[in-house]
Amino acid sequence: MTITPAPEHRPLLSVAPHARGKRSPVTCRLKCADACSHPVPNESANETFRDVVAGAMSRRALLGGLAVGAAAVVLGAQTVGAPPAAAQPLPAHGGGHGGGRPQKGLAFGAISPQPAARDAFVVPEGYRWRPVIRWGDPILRGAQPFDVARQTPEAQARQFGYNNDYLDILPFERQHALAGAQGRGKGPGRGTRGLLVANHEYTNPAIMFDASYDAATRRAIERAAHGMSVVEVRRRRTGTPWDYVADSRYNRRVHMTTEFRLTGPVAGSDLVKTVADPSGTRVLGTLNNCAGGTTPWGTVLSGEENYNGYFRTSGAGHDARYGLRDAATGYGWELDDPRFDARNPGYENEPNRFGWIVEIDPYAPDEPPVKHTALGRFKHEGANVILSRRGNAVAYMGDDERFDYVYKFVSSRTMRPGNSEAARRHNKTLLTEGSLYVARFRGDSPAAEIDGSGAVPSDGAFDGRGEWVPLVLDGRSEVEGMSLEEVLVYTRVAADKVGATKMDRPEDVEPNPVTGRVYVACTNNTSRGPAAAEAATEPNPRNTNRDGHVVEIVEDRDDAASLTFRWNLLLVAGDPATNTSTYFSGYPKEKVSPISCPDNLAFDAEGNLWISTDGQPSTIQKCDGLFKVTLDGRERGRVEQFLSVPRGAETCGPLVDSTDRMVYVAVQHPGEDGSFDAQASYFPDYLTPGAPVPTGAFAGPRPSVVQVWRD
């Protein structure tokens, strides 16, 4: 066994700041195929705000006044939306120590927001940080050490991939994974062995390769740097940092030549057959794996998100609804492999084989991963599963596109408890069969009060009721004119037809394992407005929404399988010092850390929400970070910044194991707008450019999984 330690860091390491603007055009092109500079793909004439209110009124009449009318919504013992009592001030944004008040869970003093140009990983006083694993670290037997000047596709396929996004560390003993996922949130717990699982969403050749690489080799290395990794980690004792095990038999790389099995109703359908796979059941590779989720049965789900950016197509049929077009791609893989050009005879359906939720069992290193077609095809951010009262697996999902939708899947069968092989086999089939719904949100305030400014309506809350509209019920299409297979392959089109609610880029949709309430991170939508596809609605109450918001959903009867729910906005993000349209559930605005562009969500063992952000440099001119949000009691809506990631980076995959006082994040695209010869970040090793560089090191950014622990 080889354990590979990484250098350790104390807070506030930095290099000289550089000027920084918005995300680089290169990254926009590679990460999401310039989604924001193309027309909004959703041109459907879904309900307008007028319809929402009319619907709310008729529904209210229907329910005989059951609808929520006042500021306070009583949820069992919890009160949501009630104005909090006066709270203690957050000790400025200058990095205090929590004001000496007792805190639930992990204790820390909020850090100061860091200027966008700062190339530093910043943690609270009393905490330390260290990477667990970095891009290029060797993880499979026989892998070569990372050498930025001599990478090959074969080497990269045995090393940790690029741009890590989703992250979890599962307990090594899988019975603990089962207990953890059902009771207290994610994380390795207090053990000393774990299985780290990470996604590798995309690559950035401009900062990965020097000029010596030819284009075809570069592209082949990029294909090997996409996908997923499973890596065993070990540590001496609970509460201390982890090292990764370089040659564990559990270590695994999934990339563009890894074979996946399609499951569910679309497996074997004509819509997914190609000349290379006439059976329509086997797909090579997974693309643009963004966020994910860990299931209650101890497997990991991963969302195939902006897969459209890898394919050239004819642009016909439903292509435009998915952002597929007849144009050269940013990646250029169509130059290497005919399947990436769907205009080629026999490959027309290749793009239909991406855009799914993927499941991998980290405890079964020899088992092929699968793509679950029953969960629909769209730009999947991720999927997070909780059990219904009966024990069905309920997966909540967001389609990360301006004006796209929130979905949930409810399995037909229930989870079998226990850790036997038979139980595990059964549970791994749960996502193959069930019902698929899309969310319709109805506001309860008059249209005139939702004016797009973010002003809170007179009832004191952005809130209302909602329903899960069926697209598929127990394996039958519920959408007129579309077969079951069509609903699942062209899910966006099906959801348009049933009048789903257009949301502001729903990213993570995640149930709180402690309370069962569900949170939707709507990251932003600058296209919302009177002159665009749709103006403000109560669940998306700002026009030109640069900073995003978070929706809280409370399923009726506290049952994840419910078809109706109540909802309210937990927070409307931004820097309250400069932006009057922010809202923090009534918590005093002057006492919160500024926050913008919520993306990934996590919960600690105490049920607090943790939010990681993607985009703060271009909105509030701060580096992205990780924030704790108190959900209950007098401090509901209190936002406290825990860490800040380096220049250009997005904070992904947060994992907060408060029982062990450990926090983990995946630092994605540090220094994204640099070039190989003029790097914009030196994270995480902070080697000096021009100085002698040790073997295996690199004076430039390496996307990494970072652990933060209490010193």
Binding site for ligand FEO (CB under 6 A): 201, 290, 305, 381, 400, 507
Question: What's the closest the beta carbon of residue 303 comes to Ca ion, in angstroms?
Answer: 9
Residue 459 partner contact from Ca ion, ligand FEO, none using kind-dependent CB cut-offs of 5 to 8 Å = Ca ion
Residue type, 281: T
Least distance from C-beta 5 to ligand FEO, angstroms?
A: 30
Under 8 Å between Cβ of 202 and 163 = yes
305 binds, among Ca ion, ligand FEO, none (CB under 5 to 8 A by kind): ligand FEO
Please provide the size of the chain in residues.
Answer: 711
Task: Determine how many CB atoms are found less than 10 A away from the CB of residue 374.
Answer: 26
Q: How far is the CB of 303 from ligand FEO (least distance, A)?
A: 8
Least distance (Å) between residue 301 CB and ligand FEO? 14
State the first-to-last Cα distance of the chain, in angstroms, to the nearest integer.
27
Which of ligand FEO, Ca ion, none sits in contact with 137, Cβ below 5 to 8 A by type?
none
Cβ atoms of 609 and 631 within 8 Å: the answer is yes
CB of 462 to ligand FEO, least distance (A): 23
> Smallest distance, Å, CB 393 to ligand FEO?
23
Give 654: exposed, middle or buried? Use CB within 10 Å, 0-12, 13-18, 19+.
buried
CA dist 99 and 95 (Å) reads: 11
Instruction: Tell me the three state secondary structure of residue 567.
Output: strand
Residue 543, binding choice from Ca ion, ligand FEO, none, Cβ under 5 to 8 Å by partner class:
none
Q: Which residues bind Ca ion (CB under 5 A)?
A: 290, 444-445, 457, 459, 461, 463, 507, 599
Q: Which residues of 56-74 are buried (b: 16+ CB within 10 A; e: fewer)?
A: beebbeeeeeebbeebebe
Nearer to Ca ion by C-beta: 251 or 288?
288
Q: How many whole angstroms separate alpha carbon 426 and alpha carbon 413?
A: 9
With CB under 5 to 8 Å by kind, the binding choice for 552 among ligand FEO, Ca ion, none is: none
Which alpha helices (H) appear in 507-577, and where do they start and end? none
The answer to whether 562 and 556 are in contact (CB under 8 A) is yes
C-alpha closest to that of 521 among 511, 510, 507: 507
Minimum separation from the CB atom of position 287 to ligand FEO (A): 11
Cβ pair 283, 358 in contact under 8 A: no
Q: Would you say 454 or 506 has its CB closer to ligand FEO?
A: 506
User: How far apart are CB 381 and ligand FEO at their closest, in Å?
Assistant: 5
3-state DSSP assignment of residue 510: strand
Return the one option of ligand FEO, Ca ion, none that residue 195 interacts with (CB less than 5 to 8 A, by type).
none
Give the residue with the Cβ less far from ligand FEO, 381 or 463.
Answer: 381
| Sign of the torsion angle spanned by Cα atoms 442, 447, 453, 457 | negative
Could you tell which of Ca ion, ligand FEO, none binds residue 433, using a CB distance below 5 to 8 A set by kind?
none
243 binds, among ligand FEO, Ca ion, none (CB under 5 to 8 A by kind): none
- Please say which residue, 350 or 400, places its beta carbon nearer to ligand FEO: 400
Nearer to ligand FEO, 472 or 520 (CB): 520
The C-alpha atoms of residue 264 and residue 94 are separated, in whole angstroms, by 52
Closer to ligand FEO by Cβ: residue 290 or 300? 290
168: which strand partners? 197
Tell the smallest beta-carbon distance from residue 59 to Ca ion (Å).
14
- HSE at residue 701, side-chain half, CA atoms within 13 A, is 35
Cα–Cα distance, 442 to 57 (Å, whole number): 9
Query: Which of Ca ion, ligand FEO, none does 508 bind, CB closer than 5 to 8 A by kind?
Result: none
Report how far residue 619's alpha carbon sits from residue 677's, in angstroms, rounded to the nearest whole number. Answer: 28
Question: Is the CB of 427 or the CB of 445 nearer to Ca ion?
Answer: 445
Nearer to Ca ion, 264 or 457 (CB): 457
| C-beta closer to ligand FEO: residue 403 or 587 | 403
